[in-house]
Amino acid sequence: MRSLFIWGKRSTCLLALLMLAPPARPIVSNPAKPQFLEEKIGSASIGSPEQRILAAIDHIRNGRLADARATVNALLLEQPNYRLAHLLSGDLYAMRTMPLNNIGAGSGKLATDQLNDLRKEALARITNRKTKEPQALLPAHLLVFAPSQQYAILVDAAASRIYVFKNVDGVPSYVTDHYATIGKLGADKFKEGDQRTPLGVYFVTSHLTRSYLDKTRGAQADLYGVGAWPISFPNEIDKSEGRTGSGIWLHGVPANTYARAPWASNGCVAMTNEEMLDIAQYIQIGQTPVVIVPKAEWVSKVEWQSRHDAALSLIDGWREEWESLKTQPYLNRYAKQFKSDDGQDLATWSHQKTLVSAGKRWSKVHLDELSIFTSGGPNPRLTTSFKQDYRSNNLDNQMKKRQYWQQEDGAWKIIFEGAAT
């Protein structure tokens, strides 16, 4: 009975450590006389590496330390470079003879920054397990899919999580999600080298295979693991705001690690190699949006439908006013801070459009392959992309266009418009 009592207290302590609570008190009554307890053989949990690391935490919570040990051991046989599993393994061994005051206290000489990174990873995974919204609700950021867009990727920077949603008759349907790494200094990239991940709506532009990276990057290719999928940063609005940088990719991790810390990249979004390959199967080059938000917003189907309808109505109102030569209502759709892709401000743009409209007797505007995504955050923006077919008595023009909208005086206004790049 005394042995069971001591193990129960130690399991409670380690649970507090895993939840990153304040330091707990020593868990043996006389630390000067530690007791070495013989541990029985446990039963290993099955599932993905993340499911098993969380199962080990559950076993500790329930006082099943032998099962925690068996689960961690089995996980390390499969993923020998899983550093968080090694950390937990060290703690489980250390608990046999000593009290622990924090997760990783049994890790020996592990550097402080490495230990803190592993603690952050543990917290990110534990926190996500409590979050059920992706399966029960819809992402407010994926409002309108173009018919050709089969999937969309949503990156929640605050949660260090990447989600995949399928376009099911225009409605986002949850497919999968994985732990992900973002920039060392967080999100909202502004300039080259600031080690931040950009926020906004981007598109996957290409696939850089591992063999290609080996040829072009040499030894540095290992940083990207199984390969890389570049995204379109800086996009049109980034450039208009003076944001700089390049080489923002979705990619894997080096061979000597299973996963990186939540904030550890130079601005890219990194996943375990297995999970990057899982995400890759849903990527359409040139089509798949990657929506990176400071914090994901989840809404009911009714609320999502309302926002979806409002977004479509907004774009159709703009199209109808332009087509009907309602020049002033059309120009009222543009923000005071508006910029065109050729650098025109609102005054110059309005003057030009007024002159052009005066020479029209009729016009027809048709939009195809329309998509609408929102970046969220305290200052949300709508990103609209579409194929535009414009015809009038003196001009026929077809182009792929992109607009960025934001709130101004309580209404959505266009702050950038131009050819999609």
Has 207 been annotated as catalytic? no
User: Which conformational region is residue 40 in: left (phi greater than 0), alpha (psi within -120 to 50 degrees), or beta?
Assistant: beta
Q: 3-state secondary structure string, the chain?
A: CHHHHHHHHHHHHHHHHHCCCCCCCCCCCCCCCCCCCCCCCCCCCCCCHHHHHHHHHHHHHCCCHHHHHHHHHHHHHHCCCCHHHHHHHHHHHHCCCCCCCCCCCCCCCCCHHHHHHHHHHHHHHHHHHCCCHHHHCEECCEEECCCCCCEEEEEECCCCEEEEEEEECCEEEEEEEEECEEECCCECCCCCCCCCECCEEEEECCCEEHHHHHHHHHHHHHHHCCEEEEECCCCHHHHHCCCCCCCCEEECCCCCCCCCCCEEECCCEECCHHHHHHHHCCCCCCCCEEEEECCCCEECHHHHHHHHHHHHHHHHHHHHHHHCCCHHHHHCCEEEEEEECCCCCHHHHHHHHHHHHHCCCCEEEEEEEEEEEECCCCCCEEEEEEEEEEEECCCEEEEEEEEEEEEECCEEEEEEEEECC
Phi, psi (deg, nearest 5) at residue 43: -115, 125
Would you state the structure tokens that stand for residue 399, as one six-digit string? 């182009």
Catalytic residue among 268, 308, 351, 366: 268
Has 268 been annotated as catalytic? yes
Catalytic residue among 251, 308, 351, 366: 251
Half-sphere exposure of 87 (CA within 13 A, CB side): 26
Active site (catalytic) residues: 251, 268
